[in-house]
Structure 1
Amino acid sequence: MKLAVFDIGGTTVKTGIYEDKHIIKQESFKTPKTFAALKEKMHELIDHEHFTGIAISAPGDVNIKTGVIEGRSMVPYLHQRPIFAELTAEFGLPVAIENDANCAGICETKMGNGRKFNNVAFIVIGSGVGGAIFINHELYRGAHLVGGEFGFMRGGTERILSMDATLVKAAHDYSEQTKTEVEGKELFTLAEQGDELAKTLLERFYDFLASSMYDLQVSFDFDAFILGGGVSARSEISSEVAKRLKNKLMDFDMERIMPEVMTCQYHNSANLYGAALNFLAQS
């Protein structure tokens, strides 16, 4: 089986070829402005190889029954159209599409750090917060296809998690207060150098995340939390969040339900692998 695999993001589309259980020839291109332009770029890969099918990781609420991506995202032309049927007709190949966070979670629970656990919450932390829920190894999509959209959790405030529990937000606040431009990863270096503001903002980031994980844990009692997205490159994040989560559980004598907390294994390739695994599961 040889699959053309695409991970469609708001700024970049990653591509690869899935063959013999591996993703090879990984490349990327800037996300096109129109659906027609996207199909043209897809042809550049598909027309030069003999493929069995097309596997896609995409933003939005993917409705497999209707063949439509519902909701909205930074790639608006993907939504509210019969995209499964259109791509199948365009390329003459079977097409499988799944939500991007779900794809990353599928990869990690099938072949990554979550594979040994039955019940897993996969949390994607990038410019916002997303995720996926797996119960007894099976993806839970929810009644309205938004299972795992942790970024919309409010935690008793007027703001949602995507507004606060990201390094992008922490870096923005640091830049605003110091009148300098920094990225999220630079906060760690600044904190290590003794910068008190950087330490405070990272502490806030850890606490926002741990508080939300506390609510999820006492609601679902997961075996493990897997952290993905940009933060997965920093292994210390999982230990820092785990420490705070355990303290919050101990406050109410609930430490016995402490889950494993770890970063993902496949990092930036998780969406591509998950899209391929989703195709195989649907075929």
Structure 2
Amino acid sequence: MESYFSIDIGGTYIKMGVVNDQGEISQLEKVNTPSTIEALMDVMDHYLKRQINIKGVAVSSPGAVSDHGIVYGSSAVPYLHGPNIKEMLSERFNLPVYVENDANCAAYAELWKGAAKGKKDILVVVIGTGIGGAVIKDGTIHKGANLHGGEFGYMLLNTNITGDDDVWSRVASTRALVKKVAKQKGLSNIQELTGERIFQLADSGDNICIEALEEFYHILAVGIYNLQYIYDPEIILLGGGISERVDLIDAIDEKVDAILAKIDLSTIKPTIKFCHFRQHANLLGSVYGYRKQIEKRIND
């Protein structure tokens, strides 16, 4: 059985673990995200020295990760952007290194051991403070010509465009939901409200929250309908904190049915399911990507 060192770099914490070729995680550790690239490598070095028989390093990173190892764009970990992370880590640890975007890693985890196992063409939509995701074509991540494959949140849903507030991320994210309800309730401090609280209020009969959620589900359904007809995937998986709501897919399905009922040309209904993995998806997915790209193991 082969083992790999996997690290998931987030803006607040990094998670590290040993993942074997069966997708089992051990030696899990979580620490505050270091403030410099040198400190990050020191933390990784300290962890690796306590492991044996590690075959390679698999990294889940924020940002637009190129195949050659440079992380473009911006994120909550600024020092990752600019240097060739893949080369730096390879030289430091004398091991093969794989680096991939965090949403793509989450998608690979679903393909390997999760809700998309056995499928080839899938979309993963991550709904949080914004909307992002991943595109998998023929079992492989599709990054696009400009590393923007899976940036579903940039999608426009109407023709009356005034600015950034018209993109899907700004109208169908949990942040958008909170802003809308806070405005309707006249709350001056938006921090008083959370997405979770809005669901609780709706469950208790709050009409403002009920109506806001109905519109929220509809806008999500419109975007998902578009994605189905743009790409025609076998399945669309939903992730992010909102996926904790077990009734989310039923609510979106209902809105999709209403859309299909109005459009005679539409005959295909998206198959929507939740992502299987939550906490450790990026650790698993980065290792799957490592094995797929570096070891050329396509079917596990």
Aligned pairs for 1:124-203 within 5 A:
124-156=126-158, 157=161, 158=163, 159-176=166-183, 177-179=185-187, 181-203=192-214
1:223 partner amino acid: E
1:55 partner amino acid: A
Aligned pairs for 1:1-283 within 5 A:
1-19=2-20, 20-50=22-52, 51-64=54-67, 66-156=68-158, 157=161, 158=163, 159-176=166-183, 177-179=185-187, 181-283=192-294
- Tell which structure's C-alpha radius of gyration is larger: 2
Q: Given the superposition, is the C-alpha separation of residues 24 and 169 from structure 1 closer, same or farther in structure 2, using an over 3 Å criterion?
A: farther
Q: Given the superposition, is the C-alpha separation of residues 254 and 247 from structure 1 closer, same or farther in structure 2, using an over 3 Å criterion?
A: farther
Contact 1:233 1:267 in 2 (8 A): no
Question: Runs of 5+ in structure 2 lacking a partner?
Answer: 295-300
For residues 183-218 of structure 1, what are the alpha-carbon distances to aligned partners after superposition, in whole Å with 9 as ceiling and x for unaligned? 212222111100112212222321221111121112
Contact 1:60 1:99 in 2 (8 A): yes
Shift of 1:255: 4.8
Where 1:168 maps in the other structure, the secondary structure is helix
For residues 1-41 of structure 1, what are the alpha-carbon distances to aligned partners after superposition, in whole Å with 9 as ceiling and x for unaligned? 21111111222222221024212233322222221222222
For residues 145-196 of structure 1, what are the alpha-carbon distances to aligned partners after superposition, in whole Å with 9 as ceiling and x for unaligned? 2111111112234322222222233234434535361221222211110011
Question: Runs of 5+ in structure 1 lacking a partner?
Answer: none
2:240 partner amino acid: G
C-alpha distance in 2, partners of 1:224/1:237?
16
Shift of 1:254: 4.4
Identity of aligned residues (%): 34
Q: Given the superposition, is the C-alpha separation of residues 12 and 162 from structure 1 closer, same or farther in structure 2, using an over 3 Å criterion?
A: farther
Q: Given the superposition, is the C-alpha separation of residues 195 and 114 from structure 1 closer, same or farther in structure 2, using an over 3 Å criterion?
A: same
2:10 partner amino acid: G
TM-score by length of 1: 0.92
Q: Given the superposition, is the C-alpha separation of residues 191 and 28 from structure 1 closer, same or farther in structure 2, using an over 3 Å criterion?
A: same
TM-score by length of 2: 0.87
C-alpha distance in 1, partners of 2:80/2:254?
40
Q: Given the superposition, is the C-alpha separation of residues 204 and 44 from structure 1 closer, same or farther in structure 2, using an over 3 Å criterion?
A: farther
Q: Given the superposition, is the C-alpha separation of residues 160 and 31 from structure 1 closer, same or farther in structure 2, using an over 3 Å criterion?
A: farther
- RMSD between aligned alpha carbons? 1.8
1:207 partner amino acid: H
